[in-house]
Amino acid sequence: MITKIIGTGSSQGRRRVSNQDLEQVVETSDEWIHSRTGISSRYVTEGEGIKAMAAEAAEKACIQAGISPKEVELILVATSTPECCFPSTACQVQGEIGAEGAAAFDISAACSGFIFALHTANSFLVSGTYKTALVIGADELSKLVDWNDRRTCVLFGDGAGAVVVRAEDDGKFFSAVGSDGSRGEILTCVSRSGGNFITKKQPKMGFIAMDGQEVFKFAVKKVPSCIEEMLKEHQEKPEDIRYYLLHQANERIIAAVAKRLGEPAEKFPMNISAYGNTSAASIPILLDELNREGKLNRGDKIVMAGFGGGLTWGSALLEW
């Protein structure tokens, strides 16, 4: 059996925040943010939260796939920003959309999460365990950034993207993921730490902290090499790929990856200007946009690749 995407959907936080809006919050400028990252605005939640965004994206993907949520047998949500430790965001989505028969759980691999979730769903589909799955990338990083820290708060946005995948008889699907826990300190967010029985201290939430230049170096090295290795392993040629959909963290990272792969910039669509970095949601939001704009044709080969905290990375190739 081969994994095929049969529907896509997305949603984002209700409030649009422009770079000019952020100039009122921290000492920054539209010029600095745009020239360093390619970001002009982002969307943030206004209380609707991750459950609502993920469920909306999932419902849209089911409608486009022409299936009832009741046909979904597996729901995976890649997220670093669940509302609670349990129930998982995947279980919350299951309840919201009425996918009664599905098994549901979350996957935590930061900005690479969507690729890890797709990789996991593929294993279930190829093994014959399930036939139809919902794979969702959703993050609400606005609740984890320090809004006084200009080095990080300008980078992120909130959103969700979903795909319905189905085990089919023909097509192509390959994926590969990797991790390097020894370098995790360059991109961290400590959650609920410091609670202690002896001192009776209450736990505190941490903020996102990042060594931007180290993350940049990691991304421009790891993303091209993991794509090249995957293509080589499956005897695929870079020039036959229609689109490379990369995690939307920084326009300059995407341009550098295109250059290292020797592929034209037009094959690397971007929407970071409007959304910022939506972490696990960025790849499926971009895929949904291309799909709804009619830019994907049957048989197109699409590569997706992500990188993020952990450190983690991953890539997937599929035939549309």
Q: Which residues are known to be catalytic?
A: 111, 247, 277
User: Least distance to ligand ACO from the beta carbon of 198, Å?
Assistant: 36
- Per CB under 6 A, does 28 bind ligand ACO? yes
User: Least distance to ligand ACO from the beta carbon of 97, Å?
Assistant: 28
In the DSSP assignment, the letter for residue 193 is B
Q: Can you read off the two tokens belonging to residue 178?
A: 């990797």
- Per CB under 6 A, does 154 bind ligand ACO? yes
Q: Which stretch binds ligand ACO (CB under 6 A): 4-12, 174-182, 209-217, 265-273?
A: 209-217
H or E stretch at 278: none
**Site residue total, ligand ACO (CB under 6 A):** 21
Question: Contact 38/273 with Cβ under 8 angstroms?
Answer: yes
What gap in Å lies between CA 95 and CA 103, rounded to an integer? 11
User: Least distance to ligand ACO from the beta carbon of 302, Å?
Assistant: 20
| Of the residues 3, 122, 132, 250, which one makes contact with ligand ACO according to CB under 6 A | 250
Q: Can you read off the two tokens belonging to residue 262?
A: 């020797």
- Per CB under 6 A, does 80 bind ligand ACO? no
Q: Which stretch binds ligand ACO (CB under 6 A): 31-39, 115-123, 128-136, 159-167?
A: 31-39
Cβ neighbours, 10 Å, residue 94: 25
- Per CB under 6 A, does 226 bind ligand ACO? no
What Rg value do the Cα atoms of the chain yield, rounded? Answer: 19
What is the residue type of 210?
M
| Of the residues 215, 223, 246, 287, which one makes contact with ligand ACO according to CB under 6 A | 215
Closest Cα to residue 271, out of 238, 292, 239, 245?
A: 245
Is the bond preceding residue 245 a cis peptide, omega within 30 degrees? no
What gap in Å lies between CA 65 and CA 61, rounded to an integer? 6
Q: Can you read off the two tokens belonging to residue 22?
A: 């952020």
| Of the residues 39, 99, 121, 155, which one makes contact with ligand ACO according to CB under 6 A | 155
Who contacts 37 (Cβ-Cβ below 8 Å, separation ≥6)?
154, 155, 250, 251, 252, 272
- Per CB under 6 A, does 12 bind ligand ACO? no
Nearer to ligand ACO, 143 or 292 (CB): 143
Residue nearest to ligand ACO (CB): 212
Nearer to ligand ACO, 94 or 112 (CB): 112
Question: Contact 177/314 with Cβ under 8 angstroms?
Answer: yes
- Per CB under 6 A, does 187 bind ligand ACO? yes
- Per CB under 6 A, does 277 bind ligand ACO? yes
* 180 to 101, 109, 314: CA distances (angstroms): 35, 11, 12
| Of the residues 111, 176, 283, 290, which one makes contact with ligand ACO according to CB under 6 A | 111
Q: Which residues pair with 158 in a beta bridge?
A: 140
- Contact set with ligand ACO (CB under 6 A): 28, 32-33, 36-37, 111, 150-151, 154-155, 187, 210, 212-213, 215-216, 249-250, 277, 307-308
